Structure 1
Amino acid sequence: MTLPRLVALTGAGVSAASGVPTFRSAEGGLWRRHRPEELATPSAFARDPALVWEFYDWRRQLIAGCRPNPAHLTLAEMDALLPHFTLITQNVDGLHHQAGSRRVLCLHGDIWWLKCSRCHYREENHTVPLRPLPPLCPCCEAYLRPDVVWFGEALSPSVLSRATEACAEADILLVIGTSALVYPAAQLPFYTLQHRGRVYEFNTEPTPLSGHVTESILGPCEETLPAWWCDFQNEYGLA
């Protein structure tokens, strides 16, 4: 039996069971009297790079203590067993890589990577706490910044193009723990549907996507996704 081309699209809900705080969870939506979404902008970094880095260093320290949950591990198993598989994530926490996934497209970047604000230098850096703040580029001595997509910035055209192509070619798309409200990620399932692929949604509550999908599976994704994968393996003789 030919194995289908399978794509997974994940959002913040996939990391909830790992204890990853949502972007606006600090002190009821504030961090040191600042709204996080006001700090995650190019203009905020230009105005006060030290303050922006203090916020991201705090987030990195919180995420450093988190570990992949059964949903992450199930996706890593899919990556290992399926010849045609792509994982697209809106998360920046790095837990998919930590779980063992390799074919990952990070739509919004990765908090464990830094990039230069001036030149093309990039580095992977898991040091917590990070010092000095702000860190300096070893090539040009400009400030390094988190390699994440800030408000007002466009997604990487190459990453978005690969994600769009993967969804358009998918026989099955799993949409896991995403609100289906943030574009352009919210548009991706419709490329699969337009090409007659099946879309399965995993969430704790209905979303704007729910009425369009093949099946909406409600419940904690760390429970529902492994159960779906078990059924899939039995159907395709992988168990």
Structure 2
Amino acid sequence: MNTGNIKKAVKLIRESRYMVAFTGAGVSVESGIPPFRGTGGLWNTTHPIFLEIEYFQKKPLQSWKKIKEIFYDKLGDAEPNIAHEILAKMEKRSFLESIITQNIDHLHQKAGNKYVYELHGTYKQLVCIGCNSEYDMSFADLNFLPPTCFVCKGILKPDMVFFNEAIPEFAQKKSFEEAQKADLLLIIGTNAEVLPAAKIPEIAKKTGAKIIEINIKPSPFTNTVTDVFIESRATEAMEEIGKLLYL
């Protein structure tokens, strides 16, 4: 890890008036949550068909069995790591305005961040595919699948974005607005390979933001929009940044 680039990043953070963080799977892997793509990714061992909305609608029981195994049996025990914790402290100390995340794990909120925009939804909430009623995940007894709606008896679906589903309108609108407001964008643990997430750094750059990137290897952003690249795991880089910010 380049300590010179850590110091450059801290200087930019101190000088920033409106910093926004943009996070992906790399911020949560050290909390025990595997990424979807790349080394150790879920799609290397599991066919993603169970997260296609058409498959879910036709075969909700089969889909829910795999969803429970992969998400609900694991995510509930996951705890924020030092990277999440430093981001929460940054918000409390007014270094950070908001987080745009592609993660569905709710760990930013669990760590204490209040302004989090979830581009791909969250596993913490369920929504009825019949009447759109919303429930906290604690409502459902996942020993009995598929869970059903108290209002209309329709099937409940995790409120995360499935393949062939639209991004939540509010989350996308707020994420784009935050990217436009930012004078500094802190990218952590993402290559943002899917749209519209891939647009976030580009939007920020076009409106004049400086960009700090923390990734374990160069990404499509590194040689295009990034100003300071820190080649590191999220926990290591954020811990060092936190120390220099006296968090």
Q: TM-score, normalised on structure 2?
A: 0.86
Q: Once structures 1 and 2 are overlaid, which stretch shifts more, 205-214 or 219-228?
A: 219-228
Residue 21 of structure 1 corresponds to 34
Report the 3-state secondary structure (helix = DSSP H, G, I; strand = E; otherwise coil) of the residue aligned with 2:113.
coil
Report the 3-state secondary structure (helix = DSSP H, G, I; strand = E; otherwise coil) of the residue aligned with 2:100.
strand
Q: 1:97 aligns with which of 109, 118, 126?
A: 109
Distance 1:26 1:172, change over 3 A: closer
Deviation of 1:216 after TM superposition, in Å, equals 0.9
Q: What code does the residue aligned with 1:228 have?
A: I
Give CA-to-partner distance per residue, 1:53-101, whole Å, 9 cap, x none: 1111112111222211000101111222217601111001111111111
Report the 3-state secondary structure (helix = DSSP H, G, I; strand = E; otherwise coil) of the residue aligned with 2:28.
helix
* 1:224 matches 2:237: yes
Q: What aligned pairs does 1:203-222 form with structure 2 within 5 A after superposition? A: 203-211=215-223, 212-222=225-235
CA distance in 1, matches of 2:186, 2:33: 21
Q: What aligned pairs does 1:152-231 form with structure 2 within 5 A after superposition? A: 152-211=164-223, 212-231=225-244
Deviation of 1:114 after TM superposition, in Å, equals 0.4
Residue 41 of structure 1 corresponds to 52
* 1:11 matches 2:20: no
Report the 3-state secondary structure (helix = DSSP H, G, I; strand = E; otherwise coil) of the residue aligned with 1:222.
helix
Q: TM-score, normalised on structure 1?
A: 0.89
Name the % identity.
31
Residue 137 of structure 1 corresponds to 149
CA distance in 1, matches of 2:140, 2:35: 19
Distance 1:21 1:129, change over 3 A: farther
Deviation of 1:4 after TM superposition, in Å, equals 1.4
| Structure 1, unaligned runs of 5 or more | none
Report the 3-state secondary structure (helix = DSSP H, G, I; strand = E; otherwise coil) of the residue aligned with 1:206.
coil
CA distance in 2, matches of 1:85, 1:131: 39
Deviation of 1:124 after TM superposition, in Å, equals 1.3
Give CA-to-partner distance per residue, 1:4-61, whole Å, 9 cap, x none: 1110010000001111122365887334xxx0x2110111111210111111111211
Residue 6 of structure 2 corresponds to none
Report the 3-state secondary structure (helix = DSSP H, G, I; strand = E; otherwise coil) of the residue aligned with 1:97.
helix
Give the aligned length. Answer: 230
CA distance in 2, matches of 1:161, 1:72: 24
Distance 1:90 1:5, change over 3 A: same
CA distance in 2, matches of 1:61, 1:126: 13
Q: Once structures 1 and 2 are overlaid, which stretch shifts more, 124-133 or 187-196?
A: 124-133
Deviation of 1:199 after TM superposition, in Å, equals 0.6
Deviation of 1:2 after TM superposition, in Å, equals 7.6
| Structure 2, unaligned runs of 5 or more | 1-13
CA distance in 1, matches of 2:30, 2:78: 9
Residue 76 of structure 1 corresponds to 88
CA contact (8 A) 1:3 1:82 kept: no
Deviation of 1:131 after TM superposition, in Å, equals 2.9
CA distance in 2, matches of 1:28, 1:140: 34
Q: State the Cα RMSD in Å.
A: 2.2
CA distance in 2, matches of 1:26, 1:9: 20
CA distance in 1, matches of 2:164, 2:43: 24
CA distance in 2, matches of 1:223, 1:216: 14
CA contact (8 A) 1:180 1:209 kept: no
